[in-house]
Chains A and B, each alone.
Chain A
Amino acid sequence: MNGASHIASSLSAILPILILMGTACVALMGDVFIWKRQRALTGIVALIGSVWALVVNLQQILGYGSSEPFSGSLVYDSLSQTTSLVLLIATVLSVLLAITYLRNRGLELGEYHVLLLFSASGAMLMGAANDLIMLFIGIEVLSVALYVLAGIARTEERSEEAAIKYFLLGAFASGFLLYGIALVYGATGTTNLQQINHLFSAKASITPILVAGIGLLIVGLGFKAALVPFHQWTPDVYEGAPTSVTAFMAAAAKVGAFAAFLRIMNAFMPVQPAWITAIQVLAILTMVFGNLLAVVQDNVKRMLAYSSIAHAGYVLVAVASTGMIYRHAVLYLSQGDRAAMFYLLAYVFMTVGAFGVLVLLSRSGKDYQTMNDLKGLARTHPFAAYTMMFFMLSLGGIPPTMGFLGKWLIFNAAISAHQVTLAIVMALASVVGIYYYLRVVWMMCFQEPEGAPATEHPVNDWAARWSVIVSLAGTLMFGVLPALLSPIMTGLYH
């Protein structure tokens, strides 16, 4: 293949990422030079761009291609395409939420949508990375934009505090990740994940420097994915950041981090004894402490933060039962990988939906955050209360929702990968989880509202409303008819 056609095919393979980055540049320039006073237009442009990228991504998935663009530094296969799909859905939903939230809070800043799109493209790069250095670039593109987004409410102390916490701990974690990359480079002489895989398939030699490298990689990614004991920043940042940012952060950063986890762990599959214990211990700690700490929270955003930690633990069970197979240079996703991707999609719908309801409830005067605020919501805001109820049931893993089906797939994958302990801990932890999710439902439906009902001006919140409706539709539809996803996620690559 000559140079020009190689570049052309490389660029077309990462077209969704290019569309997001291009849209971000157009939105930025337009916001500064063209539609200076029409801030809402930036959100519309971002929405169009991300829907466009989503359509292109779906075409790619249905085109069943796989290649290694840019001389093997990226990889374009079923895993990267599915990761992109999940991330683009999260992006579209978050842009919709942001359009309403920014207007309600008087924060209409054009750079918000620009940063959001850059951040999403970084997460997509993480899913497509075939080289540890590309992975590092992706994680930084994702994070640097998120640091700014967390502090976008410049005049609020809580938002600024969240930003500086996220920034310092995130930069600290990338130091660990990078040292892990350096040590793996030293142990293998390459940073290309496929070459690492071939190297260990030929001769699985576990050296101390390799174990240290993998360990530091897990610590670095564990910070991003908010695994216990690297989770301390999560509740503070989720609570302090503006709610629409929290929704995106909870979805995109976690999906990106787990896509990277799946890639790395599959590359290191031949030396599985070097890392499987660490993943198992982290999964158990994350599931147990995430659920137990969520029980005692009185702030809904904080509760959802701990719940997102618990869900990270469930996905980590799927990572522990991974094992992709390369056959004739085509990637076949294992049961664990498919369960992880299905669960991440379910997680995006449920979490963005739940935060979306909080966005819908936020008015310039009042931010719905504590459990008391939710009292009697079924009477005052029926739409918000009943949609929230379905998201809580799905997060708790009650059928017929997508959350239940995702947990069931992970449970099955863990059993067939002989991770019985993990499967049992997961089932027990989910039972604890049901308690605090149902507590929200109880507060909303069976408690009297506190104080006099505040008179609220009717506001135009079509965007957030649509975001919540789409999330709800996804949660229920794919929970009842998972076969709709089968060409994308389950049957095809088997």
Chain B
Amino acid sequence: MLAVPTEYYLALSAILFTIGVIGVLIKRNPIVIFMCIELMLNAVNLTFIAFGRHFAQINGQMYVIFVMAVAAAEVTVGLGIIVAVFRTKDTIDVDEVNLLKF
């Protein structure tokens, strides 16, 4: 059986993480921004699993469970805040909310 080298997984997760970062910086809809943040977190999960396999440890996979639980909590709060913003402003576009002045 041909094993995929760890470096391949790391490269893939680095690319996914970068796509997520770029998405956060250029997108204007907070829901899409939030999806990009989730992409970043899942890229990190891939890194954890790849390293866990590399070291033959169970830790890497455990960390992913932690991260997924925390991400779920963040989604709940985040979507709630987005709904609250929509109720007060009737828009969620970040330019209208005057956001992210990088």
Contacts and interface: CB of A to CB of B under 8 A. Distances in A.
Interface stretch (A167-175, A254-262, A410-418): A167-175
A174 to B, nearest CB: 8
Interface string A145-169: 0011001001111001101110111
B84 A140 contact: no
A189 interface: yes
B95 interface: no
Contacts of A140: 70, 73-74
B24 A151 contact: no
Interface in B38-97: 40-41, 43-44, 47-48, 51, 54-55, 57, 59-60, 63, 66-67, 70, 73-74, 77-78, 80-82, 84-85, 87-89, 94, 97
Contact of B48 (A161, A167, A185): A185
Q: Which of A151, A163, A182, A183 counts the most B-chain CB atoms under 10 A from its CB?
A: A182
B84 A151 contact: yes
A147 B67 contact: no
A178 interface: yes
A136 B66 contact: yes
Interface in A11-26: none
A161 B34 CA distance: 16
Contacts of B88: 154-157, 160
Most buried by B among A155, A186, A190: A186
Contacts of B84: 151, 154, 160, 163
Contacts of A148: 77, 80-81
B66 A160 contact: no
A161 B98 contact: yes
A249 B78 CA distance: 18
A137 B63 CA distance: 11
Pick the most buried of A151, A156, A190, A232: most chain B CB atoms within 10 A of its CB: A151
B64 to A, nearest CB: 10
A157 B98 CA distance: 12
A178 B41 contact: yes
Per DSSP, chain A at the interface is helix
Contacts of A183: 47
B101 A232 contact: yes
A409 interface: no
Contacts of B98: 161
Contacts of B34: 168, 171
B99 A137 contact: no
A179 interface: yes
Contacts of A172: 24, 37, 40
A321 B89 CA distance: 47
B33 to A, nearest CB: 6
A296 to B, nearest CB: 16
Contacts of B63: 133, 181-182, 185, 191
B54 A186 contact: yes
A144 interface: yes
Given A151-B81, A168-B99, A137 B66 contact: yes
B59 A191 contact: yes
B55 A189 contact: yes
Contacts of A182: 44, 47-48, 51, 63
A335 to B, nearest CB: 35
A155 B87 CA distance: 8
B102 A232 contact: yes
A161 B33 CA distance: 15
Contacts of B99: 161, 164-165, 168
Given A157-B88, A178-B44, A189-B57, A164 B51 contact: no
B52 to A, nearest CB: 8
A357 to B, nearest CB: 28
Nearest to A150: B81
Given A172-B24, A185-B48, A163 B81 contact: yes
A167 B63 CA distance: 23
Given A140-B73, A151-B81, A182-B44, A168 B33 contact: yes
Contacts of B47: 179, 182-183, 186
Nearest to A190: B59
A137 B74 CA distance: 12
Contacts of B41: 174-175, 178
Contact of B30 (A155, A168, A175): A168
Contact of A175 (B37, B51, B57): B37
A140 B68 CA distance: 12
Contacts of B37: 168, 171-172, 175
List of 10 A-B pairs having minimum Cβ-Cβ separation, nearest first? A175-B40, A182-B47, A186-B51, A178-B44, A160-B85, A140-B70, A171-B37, A163-B81, A179-B44, A189-B55
Given A133-B63, A156-B88, 12 more contacts: A136-B66, A136-B70, A148-B80, A151-B81, A154-B88, A168-B24, A174-B41, A175-B41, A179-B17, A181-B63, A182-B48, A190-B59
6 contacts: A137-B70, A154-B88, A164-B81, A185-B59, A185-B60, A191-B59
Interface of B: 10, 17, 20-21, 24, 30, 33-34, 37, 40-41, 43-44, 47-48, 51, 54-55, 57, 59-60, 63, 66-67, 70, 73-74, 77-78, 80-82, 84-85, 87-89, 94, 97-102
